[in-house]
Structure 1
Amino acid sequence: MKNLALHWQILIGMFLGIVWGMLASYLNLNDFTIDWISPFGTIFINMLKLIAVPLVLVSLITGVASLSDISRLSRIGTKTIGLYLSTTVLAVLLGLVLVNVFKPGNAFSPEKREEFRSQFAAATSEKSSDAAAVEEQGPLQALVDIVPSNIFGAMTDNSSMLQVIFFALLFGIALIMIPTDKAAPVNSFFEGVNLVILKIVDIIMAAAPYGVFALLAGLIVEFAGDDPAAAIELLLVLGYYCIVVTIGLGLMILVMYPLLVVTLGKTKYRAFFKGIFPAQMLAFSTSSSAATLPATMECAEKNLGINKEISSFVLPLGATINMDGTSLYQAVAAVFIAQAYGIDLTLMQQLGIVLTATLASIGAAAVPGAGIVMLVIVLQQAGIPIEGIALILAPDRILDMLRTTVNVTGDATVAMIVARTEGQLHPPTGIKV
């Protein structure tokens, strides 16, 4: 297995995890899987989370400091944020078009809606409470939350990644502004730490196929329980909705991103897809842009030829504020729930969804399930019953895997474009197929 490229190892791990999960359900090995296999998936996720904050902090500091002047940082930052916001708006609009054309919400009967509402009442209440806490905050609270009162406190919580990014940017800018001879030893220190962190990433990624196997085995067992047919029946009932979301996410990966890569990135999409594929597979299995960030950065630099100066700035920022897949999903889910409840949304309400989903994506934590909390805010803004979120909780974990894959692909696409426009795209050193 060592001779196989990483993405093939991850694919094999995914396949075996699914097979084991289904067999475990049939053979009544659920408890064994949850007790003795699933924990290794949790350990793998924890290892990725362990390295996420140090990676973002050190990569951004070294990346910003390497830009050497404030004007260059401003130019790259403007390009990056502009591209991220543009792709997010396009994703939301695409989701609204698809859900209005296919109308998946009309497929639910009142009996089935009531069944889901009662089954997921507790989870719905929890998500509503989380969203209510966010809603009660003032209009500038999101801006306040970006600035940490204690950087060490922010570094202990992966959901505070924006605060870590703020400090890293501030630190890097300050390094540029002080005399070169004084900044040199600090730069050398962080470059050395960066090398250590990247080596840790290599060690963690060697365990990725086994971690992915354990993750998916546990997921299938929890989803199916003692009756695999229950999972199949549930997916069939919600299949129409899932298909619409999947079509939208597929169009992002197979149409929108290729157009951007080819026209603005001046790169063949086949080469881009090969290069980012290992990160896509890890994103699919972990459902976390933050956890996948180490692999995304490695793929961008080694497989796509993106200069470290660009990748260390654009990708950590993208893992926090660029959620194209999540934004598309929120648009489809909001209108789907409205359709299920027989609510006709006006054009202004749907435009409000575009704005809210775009802004919500900026503050969404790059961890599994964060999109659900932000979706509640989108629903409230559009006047859609929050209880309707119970309808989509069942397949959300699977769709979360797909939309995270889109998020990571979008990050890499923007990094490719920025690198091309800055003349920082070089021949790749490590594509393996």
Structure 2
Amino acid sequence: MPKLALHWQIAIAILLAVIVGLASGADASIGGVKLVAIYAFVGTLFLNALKMLIVPLVTSSIISGMAGVGGDRLESLGGKTLLFYACSSLIAILIGLTVVNIIAPGSGDTQALAASLSGDDPELQATLSKVEGRSAADIVQVFERMIPTNIVDAAANGEMLGMIFFSLLFGFFLARNDSPQAKTLLNFWQGTMDVMTSITMWVMKFAPIGVFGLIAKTVATTGFDAFTPMLKFFIATSLALLIHAFVAMPLILRFIGRVHPQKHYQAMAPALLTAFSTASSSATLPLTMECVQDRAGVSKSTSGFVLPLGATVNMDGTALYECVAAMFIAQVYGLDLSIGQQFTVVMVALLTSIGVAGIPAASLVAISVILGTIGLPLEGIGLLLVTDRILDMMRTAVNVFSDSCAAVVIARLEGEDTAIARN
């Protein structure tokens, strides 16, 4: 009997989790133990296992990738990567801006929505405490942390940008050292990457169970009733994300990468479903790299350079969400933004999607920066809390898909004959 493909296992787990989560709710228990706690325990174990792989996998992949790229390709590869990420994020933001202007989810009965922004709400107060005092200066601080004073401390605290910068430097100079010791060191990092890839594949055998726990917990605690007042906003954001993922990116794959979009979707299915379930680009990175290398056929040198960088700075879904959310809050408050103000929203969303990624509550911090720029109160963030978890899952999947598209397109531009181009 043929084994069911991983992405189908994960899809079935998501469907079962939705059914079980709705049936159990937040209060059901077995033997005095709440089912939600069991869901959370299973999901957290899986998430922790993925996060455990990030530092050694990213470090070994970048160092091996840089050493494999060499000086001749580095400038070309780096320039194409940064250009792709900037353009794809800008396209995503413009799609979000267009959709939110057409649907206008914050128009209509805005008094009811505005009245729901109670300053006494504990959840809102907790959220505001995270973003209060944040400004565009935080973007600069994030880039300052790109050069860490202690690389071990940066890795321990999950400061990916600093770890990536160090790994790029290490790989760059390792490639230029011809000593026997350097060759031994290169073999060590390549061996480490191979072992980490094997561990990743082993962890992914438990993905359906972990995904079930993560989704069941989310559905059991949030349900769907709370979405009704925010339905227009949810639809507008979801539609914009879908347009970017199923229209804009496939066009780029087809006409720039010269690959069949459907084959790329099939190759990336396990990573996309895992990204949706975990709502973490970084946690999904090990599986993203495995899918891009083994299923899409991109070389380890290219994917090892492009993907870790993308998981840190390329946030198409997040940038799109920031733009739609800021425009929605402006509409709720009855503020008709001029073309100039909307352009400001676009530019700030583009910058914050790159720079604020290393800050806790990153999307909310970025939105608070945008709100401050156009003169709206931070309490408007309270409107976003109801739908934030589900939309976070959706925008994370879009982030990961964009990273994978970048790896495939750049590989093709670099002359690689990827598997999905050959098939």
Same fold (TM over 0.5): yes
Equivalent residue, structure 2, for 1:176: 175
Equivalent residue, structure 1, for 2:351: 359
* Pairing 1:186-265 to 2, within 5 Å after superposition: 186-224=185-223, 231-232=224-225, 234-265=226-257
Pairing 1:381–2:373 present: yes
SS of 2:156 mapped into structure 1: coil
Show structure 1 runs of 4+ deviating over 6 A. none
SS of 2:149 mapped into structure 1: coil
SS of 2:118 mapped into structure 1: helix
The alignment of Structure 1 onto Structure 2 pairs a total of residues equal to 421
| 2-structure distance, mates of 1:401, 1:391 | 18
| 1-structure distance, mates of 2:304, 2:53 | 14
CA separation of 1:363/1:305 partners in 2, compared to 1, >3 Å: closer, same or farther?
A: same
Equivalent residue, structure 1, for 2:52: 50
Pairing 1:39–2:38 present: no
CA separation of 1:147/1:124 partners in 2, compared to 1, >3 Å: closer, same or farther?
A: farther
| CA deviation after TM superposition for structure 1 residue 354, in Å | 1.1
| CA deviation after TM superposition for structure 1 residue 343, in Å | 1.0
CA offsets 1:215-260 (integer angstroms, 9 cap, x no match): 1111112113xxxxxx32x212111111111111111111101100
What one-letter code is carried by the residue in structure 2 that aligns with 1:99? V
| 2-structure distance, mates of 1:2, 1:108 | 54
Q: Which moved more, 1:171-180 or 1:139-148?
A: 139-148
| CA deviation after TM superposition for structure 1 residue 379, in Å | 1.4
CA separation of 1:368/1:246 partners in 2, compared to 1, >3 Å: closer, same or farther?
A: farther
Q: Which moved more, 1:281-290 or 1:378-387?
A: 378-387
* Pairing 1:34-433 to 2, within 5 Å after superposition: 34-69=36-71, 71-118=72-119, 121-135=121-135, 137=137, 140-158=140-158, 160-224=159-223, 231-232=224-225, 234-365=226-357, 369-427=361-419
| CA deviation after TM superposition for structure 1 residue 138, in Å | 7.1
What one-letter code is carried by the residue in structure 2 that aligns with 1:36? I
CA contact (8 A) 1:33 1:217 kept: no
What one-letter code is carried by the residue in structure 2 that aligns with 1:167? F
CA separation of 1:293/1:389 partners in 2, compared to 1, >3 Å: closer, same or farther?
A: same
Q: Which moved more, 1:205-214 or 1:382-391?
A: 382-391
CA contact (8 A) 1:127 1:376 kept: no
| 2-structure distance, mates of 1:378, 1:294 | 32
CA separation of 1:424/1:368 partners in 2, compared to 1, >3 Å: closer, same or farther?
A: farther
What one-letter code is carried by the residue in structure 1 that aligns with 2:195? V
CA contact (8 A) 2:147 2:165 kept: yes
CA contact (8 A) 1:334 1:384 kept: no
| CA deviation after TM superposition for structure 1 residue 366, in Å | 7.2
What one-letter code is carried by the residue in structure 1 that aligns with 2:60? V
| 1-structure distance, mates of 2:95, 2:408 | 23
CA contact (8 A) 1:320 1:363 kept: no
TM-score, normalised relative to structure 2: 0.94
| CA deviation after TM superposition for structure 1 residue 195, in Å | 1.3
| 1-structure distance, mates of 2:37, 2:252 | 45
Unaligned runs of 5+ in 2: none
CA RMSD of aligned residues (A): 2.3
Unaligned runs of 5+ in 1: 225-230
What one-letter code is carried by the residue in structure 1 that aligns with 2:89? T
| 2-structure distance, mates of 1:108, 1:175 | 62
| 1-structure distance, mates of 2:39, 2:13 | 13
CA offsets 1:87-112 (integer angstroms, 9 cap, x no match): 10111111111111111001444234
| 1-structure distance, mates of 2:293, 2:256 | 18
CA separation of 1:344/1:152 partners in 2, compared to 1, >3 Å: closer, same or farther?
A: same
| 2-structure distance, mates of 1:147, 1:89 | 26
SS of 2:417 mapped into structure 1: coil
| 1-structure distance, mates of 2:273, 2:73 | 33
